[in-house]
Structure 1
Amino acid sequence: MAAMLIAPSFAIECSTASAQSQGPPAGDSATGSKTFEALAKSADEARDAGRLDEAVQTYSRALALNPKWVEGWWSLGTLHYDADRYAEAALAFERVVALDPKQGTAHAMLGLCEFELGQPERALKDIETSKTLGVLEDKQLRDVVMYHDGVLLQRAGQFEAAKAALTSLCLNGMRSSELAGTFGMVALRMRDAAPPDPATEAGQVVQHVGRGACLSGAKEYEAAKTEFDQVIARTPHFPLVHYAYGCELVDARDIAGAVKEFEAEIAEQPKSVLPRLHIAVAEYKVDSAAGLKYAEEAVQLEPNLPLGHYLLGLLLLDTGAYERAVPELEIARKAFPQEGRIDLALATAYAHVGRTQDAAQARTEFARKKQAEQASAEGTVEITDAMDARSNR
């Protein structure tokens, strides 16, 4: 899947401007203009006729006369990309982006080239930019971009974001061993560059877990449960397999089952913080007193983990332990100054302990951040990579 191609005819539909709309060629002479227009026409004809080497040469000659021709750079980039000449394609798409920074599809194509060139940080940045700007509504391109986005996020340890990217593919009906392998590594929080060999036990576990995670993402929970039941029956001691199943059960709204699997993971790895955090999240507003124990244990095991202090503060707040909640939430606010929901929780805690001025100030901060679209909804708790990358444990 990493080398899926975008057809040249598709690239023309993506173009943002015609040859005539990009200004006169260098020199601005009538002769130069006619020469450029003739070359541009010849390049398009060669491309459409499948004479691709000729098209590349002719586009290059036309662009030498008019380096501001966005469509020409786009066409040249896609021709190089389809021929697996990723370095040349990247240079062309860089010119498109420089001339038209809002061209989301060009950012996506540049990111795909950078992926193939072994430049993961740059690739991830450009693909994430393309998601913000928007790309052409083409299923093939969208699938390729989202898959690569998932791979890059997985390798970067941003597992929640990777899960979101891959889930979108599963919802659209995609099923493949490549997708299962990547999704399996995401669910098991593996940052490897490639899935284990499917012929090995680890490879089989990753495939089963990946298929289960994909089915869960597509809301096919019973089928997902079958995959997880099989892999756990065969390899109950595989690292994080119970954790992965617990996450699937959370998605299926089976909180009791999820807590059971997270507890099983703790039994396998007694010092693991992540399943404890997930139990704390699952029990918040359901049985906060039960979740409190796990949040306290997480903080004891990892005192420098701000997310643990945040969850502990919420659970203390929900169980009426306001005095204890305040310092935990203050630690979280210091670590996550842009999270308005922490201010909201602190406002409640301050009010209950008689710190009315601090409560008013916290409410003001929450309103300001909410207005800036930086605050989260009240009463929701998520374990996200954005809040603390160290929650990978």
Structure 2
Amino acid sequence: MSSFLILGGMLAASIASPLPAFAADAAQASVASELTTPKQRLDTLFAELKRERDQDKAREISNRIRVEWQDSGSATVNLLMQWASKAVETNRQATALDIFDQVITLSPRYIEGWNQRATLHYQMGNYRKSMSDINQVLAIEPRHFGALAGMAAILTSSGQDELALRAWEQFLDIYPADRKAQEQLGELEEKLAGDRT
């Protein structure tokens, strides 16, 4: 009974001295951000990206998605990713590959470990290994537009234009405002139409 009275008194005190409107909004936003999971934030961002037709605004949304992807939730993995990035920048590919291997072993559901290793394999001309890593990325996050673009590039370079076309279509279904993807799709459609005539 006494705890009820204490709670009632606290409630009355909070009603008697309300927060300024902006402070209340900030408090609500803070509570809302604490309640959202990374998956919920990504789902919201992907819904925004799919609706956005302005290229610049869509790029901002895609950058926010990339920020979400980059945070592994582990300080150790985040540090390893920084080391791997530095190794790539300084042209030490073997070291970077070793670090990416460690990241994937420590956190196999962390898509950027797979994605960054796929990118490095692609840069080194190891297309088969890159495609294998891309498939892992897409198994974890089918909306990973960067992995789909990488897949399309590999398929195009290996002459598999029909499959590359499908990859670009999937990309644009997720990220419709990307002009480069639109151009790539258009070029492939023209090429394939020319091949059929």
Q: TM-score range by the shorter chain?
A: 0.5 to 0.7
Equivalent residues of 1:104, 1:133 under 8 A apart? yes
Q: CA deviation at 1:106?
A: 2.2
Quick check: which one's helix share is greater? 2
In structure 2, distance between residues paired with 1:43 and 1:135: 31
Task: Rate the CA distance shift 1:96–1:44 in 2: closer, same or farther, 3 A.
Answer: same
Measure, in 1, the Cα distance between the counterparts of 2:158 and 2:187. 14
Shift of 1:44: 2.7
- Tell me by how many angstroms 1:108 deviates: 1.9
Q: Which amino acid letter does the alignment assign opposite residue 191 of structure 1? A: D
Residue-by-residue CA offset, 1:17-69 (whole Å, 9 max, x unaligned)? 23533xx7xxxxxxxx85x5553342233124332332122112221232111
1:102 aligns with 2:143: yes
Q: Percent identity?
A: 22
- Is 1:82 aligned to residue 86 of structure 2? no
The superposition leaves residues 214-253 of structure 1 with CA deviations (integer Å, 9 ceiling, x where unpaired) of: xxxxxxxxxxxxxxxxxxxxxxxxxxxxxxxxxxxxxxxx
| RMSD (Å), alpha carbons | 3.1
What does residue 186 of structure 2 align with? Answer: 150
Residue 118 of structure 1 deviates from its aligned partner by 2.9
Q: Secondary structure at the match of 1:67?
A: coil
| Structure 1 position 17 matched with structure 2 position 66 | no
Deviations 1:111-144 (A, max 9, x none): 111222332222111111101110796xxxx53x
Opposite residue 91 of structure 2, the aligned amino acid is G
In 2, distance between residues paired with 1:146 and 1:41? 32
Distance change (3 Å), C-alpha of 1:104 and 1:15 = same
User: Is the Cα–Cα contact under 8 Å of residues 172 and 182 in structure 2 kept in the other structure?
Assistant: no
Give 1:149's aligned amino acid.
Answer: L
2:98 pairs with 38, 45, 57, which one?
57
Equivalent residue of 1:129, what SS? Answer: helix
Is the aligned partner of 1:191 residue 2:175? no
Is the aligned partner of 1:46 residue 2:82? no
Where does residue 20 of structure 2 map in the other structure? none
Partner of 1:253: none
Change in Cα spacing, 1:81 to 1:135, as seen in structure 2 (3 Å) is: farther
| 2:109 alignment partner, SS class | coil
Query: In 1, distance between residues paired with 2:79 and 2:177?
Result: 29
Q: Over residues 151-181 of structure 1, what are the superposed CA-to-partner deviations in whole Å (9 max), with x where a residue is unaligned?
A: 4223432xxxxxxxxxxxxxxxxxxxxxxxx
Deviation at 1:101, TM superposition (A): 1.4
Residue 46 and residue 84 in structure 1: after superposition, are their counterparts in 2 closer, same or farther (change >3 A)? same
Structure 1 residues 16 and 116: alpha-carbon distance in aligned structure 2, compared to 1, 3 A threshold: farther
Structure with more relative contact order (C-alpha pairs < 8 Å, separation 6 or more): 2
Amino acid across the alignment from 1:156: L
SS of equivalent residue, structure 2 residue 195: coil
Task: Tell me the distance in 2 between the aligned counterparts of 1:121 and 1:16.
Answer: 32
Larger CA Rg, structure 1 vs 2: 1
Deviation at 1:77? 1.7
2:93 & 2:144 partners in 1: Cα distance?
25
Report matched runs for 1:295-334 at 5 Å.
Answer: none
The Cα of 1:96 is off from its aligned counterpart by 1.7
Aligned 8 A contact 1:16 1:70 in 2: no
List alignment gaps of at least 5 residues for structure 2.
1-62
Q: Please give the per-residue CA displacement for 1:294-331, whole angstroms capped at 9, x wherever unaligned.
A: xxxxxxxxxxxxxxxxxxxxxxxxxxxxxxxxxxxxxx
Unpaired runs of at least 5, structure 1:
1-10, 25-32, 158-189, 193-391
Distance of 1:191 and 1:135 partners within structure 2? 26
122, 143, 152: which one aligns with 1:111? 152
Letter in 1 for 2:195: R
Instruction: Write the distance in 2 (CA, Å) between the matches of 1:122 and 1:52.
Output: 29
Letter in 2 for 1:18: Q
